[in-house]
């Protein structure tokens, strides 16, 4: 071990062991220099594979000895833990570093990339079961059925790993960022769901969160907040008196005006942050790992990388804003059962004394996630608006900004910041996560995938996130494995980008809340990562419990 550590990463690794050690040193160096998350290891089964083949052929390694080294590597990865204060921990619950490790996909020349190491890395995750690395499975039509079923069996284990991604979407997104086809095929997923080219592309990802349903509250109150610590404060713009919003189109335009303002303010804050980083922070070590900085004479994060993108704020609560738009459209403008002012007053008072009206809004109005065009089309309006608006912004280096919809764990604290909504959601309740339906409103997995693919996933160049929850009995037998694979392939055929699953019963989760000492190793999928159940705040735990558990 001392000999290996003396050599790498300063010199080229000669074998499998040295390559693994060099990778880990480079990763730790990046984490230390940036004090940041999402310093993953990329497509480990691809660039490590030649060392594996070489050492197997020479007899230096056996498959068992190589497997042991991979699993030791997984343990070392899990030693990197992000420590947060209480406030930050609400938004990034679980203390993970989001260190993605990608497997599968295609080679740069377009062939199936699944190899022996792909399966060994899946086995390592199943054997070790720690929250890092964050295992990512790239998938496409060229990958063998054996690979799909291997991924499904790991999903069945209930750790939340791996998250799966559609190569057709990821490759197209990279081409839209200006890469070559060969580079695009070699993309990796980093962080939660973001695509990039390892060593060639810099991204300003997770650039703050946009509380999308807050735009509804701001329209109903002429730019003022009504709940919690923001009550009585003007956080939006005055979009006019409610009686002047004569048509649904008027109302939707007002909501989009508020969304535009929230995005605009966040972009200004990011420009100040970016300028601050440029003035006080240097990245000499990380620059060494990138193509471009030395040729251009610039920091990799300051225009030096071969490719770069602008800020990408995470837009949270698609289901909540879509369901609320549907409620206003149906109840006020289509069926004229209520006035806009009456809905506004119900939201201001959190439906106090009006539970019957709230239940009418919950049950009568279609909800996103159930394959109903009435509300799904409104979700598409929102998703398309985000792309159009965000891509009008640029960072200080002239890089165009990108849209994304993933929450990390921010859907819970962002929900605590706004009052009741026209959808019937009560004040302070967690928002829906990513592009997932609101908790408990979806009924079948096939309807979910039809709703969430009602908009174009490719356009959201920094990714989106779909969480689904399945009852353990659903995947218990081989027939369940095949059904899950069929669902996944259909989702991909419909243009879906990302899926991750919790396969754990509510009974176990509730029991673990009562007796945490008896469940120290219980892991769940939160958003673009898995975390230990006991490391999550009670509100986030309850949000995960409230998600609907599907059966086939």
The residues carrying an active-site annotation are 192, 194
Alpha-carbon distance 488 to 490, whole Å? 5
Give the CA distances from residue 175 to residues 171, 463, 499, in Å, rounded to whole numbers and listed in that order: 6, 14, 22
Q: Residue 24's CB: how many other CB atoms inside 10 A?
A: 19
Q: What is the DSSP track for 175-192?
A: HHTT--HHHHHT-EEETT
CA distance linking residue 289 with residue 304, whole number of Å: 12
Tokens (6 digits) for 510: 């509730």
Dihedral angle, C-alpha 356, 428, 533, 26, nearest 10 °: 140
String of DSSP letters for 40-78: --B-HHHHSHHHHHHHHHHTS--HHHHHHHHHHHHHHHH
3-state secondary structure of 100: strand
| Structure-block tokens of residue 322 | 């879509």
As a whole number of angstroms, the distance between CA 166 and CA 453 comes to 13
- Give, in order, the Cα–Cα distances in Å from 354 to each of 30, 256, 321, 361, 545: 54, 29, 21, 11, 26
C-alpha distances (whole Å) from 540 to each of 89, 99, 271 are: 11, 21, 31
- The distance from CA 505 to its chain's CA centroid, rounded to whole angstroms, is 23
CA distances to 117, 232, 465 from 44, rounded to whole Å, are 8, 51, 23
Task: Give the largest CA-CA distance in the chain.
Answer: 80
For 245, list phi and psi in degrees, rounded to 5. -90, 85
The 10 Å Cβ neighbour count of residue 221 is 21
What distance in Å separates the CA atoms of residue 122 and residue 149, rounded to the nearest whole number?
A: 11
Cα separation, 449 vs 491, whole angstroms:
6
């Amino acid at each position: 071990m001392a000999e290996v550590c003396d050599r790498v990463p300063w010199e080229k690794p000669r074998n499998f062991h040295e390559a693994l050690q060099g990778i880990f040193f480079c990763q730790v160096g990046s984490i230390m220099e940036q004090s940041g998350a999402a310093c993953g290891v990329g497509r480990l089964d691809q660039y490590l594979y030649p060392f594996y083949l070489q050492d197997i052929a020479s007899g230096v390694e056996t498959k068992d000895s190589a497997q042991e080294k991979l699993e030791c590597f997984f343990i070392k990865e899990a030693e990197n833990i992000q420590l947060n204060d209480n406030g930050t921990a609400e938004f990034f619950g679980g203390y993970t570093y989001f260190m993605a490790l990608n497997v599968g996909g295609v080679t740069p020349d377009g062939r199936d990339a699944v190899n022996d190491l792909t399966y060994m890395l899946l086995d390592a995750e199943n054997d070790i079961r720690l929250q890092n690395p964050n295992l990512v499975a790239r998938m496409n039509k060229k990958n063998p059925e054996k690979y799909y079923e291997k991924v499904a069996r790991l999903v069945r284990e209930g750790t939340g790993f791996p998250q799966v991604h559609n190569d057709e979407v990821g490759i197209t997104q990279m081409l839209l960022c200006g890469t070559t086809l060969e580079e695009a095929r070699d993309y990796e997923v980093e962080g939660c769901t973001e695509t990039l080219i390892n060593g060639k592309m810099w991204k300003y990802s997770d650039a703050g969160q946009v509380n999308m349903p807050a735009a509804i509250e701001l329209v109903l109150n002429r730019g003022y907040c009504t709940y919690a610590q923001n009550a009585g404060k003007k956080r939006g713009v005055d979009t006019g008196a409610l009686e002047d919003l004569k048509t649904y189109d008027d109302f939707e335009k007002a909501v989009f005006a508020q969304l535009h303002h929230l995005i605009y303010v966040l972009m200004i804050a990011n420009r100040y942050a970016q300028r601050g980083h440029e003035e006080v922070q240097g990245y000499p070590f990380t620059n060494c790992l990138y193509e471009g900085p030395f040729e251009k004479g610039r920091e990799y994060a300051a225009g030096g990388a071969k490719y770069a993108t602008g800020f990408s704020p995470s837009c949270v609560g698609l289901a909540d804003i879509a369901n609320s738009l549907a409620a206003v459209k149906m109840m006020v403008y289509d069926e004229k059962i209520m006035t806009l002012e009456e809905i506004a007053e119900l939201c201001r008072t959190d439906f106090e004394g009006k539970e019957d009206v709230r239940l009418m809004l919950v049950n009568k109005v279609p909800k996103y996630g159930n394959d109903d065009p009435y509300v799904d089309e409104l979700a598409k309006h929102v998703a398309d608006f985000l792309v159009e608006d965000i891509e009008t912004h640029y960072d200080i280096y002239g890089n165009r900004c990108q849209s994304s919809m993933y929450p990390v764990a921010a859907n819970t604290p962002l929900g605590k910041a706004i009052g009741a909504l026209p959808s019937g959601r009560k004040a302070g309740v967690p928002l829906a996560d990513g592009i997932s339906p609101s908790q408990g409103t979806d009924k079948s997995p096939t309807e979910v995938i039809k709703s969430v693919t009602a908009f174009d996933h490719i356009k959201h160049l920094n990714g989106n996130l779909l969480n689904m929850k399945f009852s353990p009995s659903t995947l218990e037998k081989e027939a369940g494995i095949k059904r899950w694979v069929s669902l996944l392939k259909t989702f991909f055929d419909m243009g879906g980008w990302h899926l991750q699953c919790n396969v754990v019963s509510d009974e176990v989760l509730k029991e673990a809340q009562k007796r945490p000492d008896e469940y120290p190793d219980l892991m769940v999928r939160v958003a673009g990562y898995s975390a230990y159940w006991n490391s999550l705040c009670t509100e986030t735990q309850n949000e995960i419990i409230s998600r609907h558990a599907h059966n086939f």
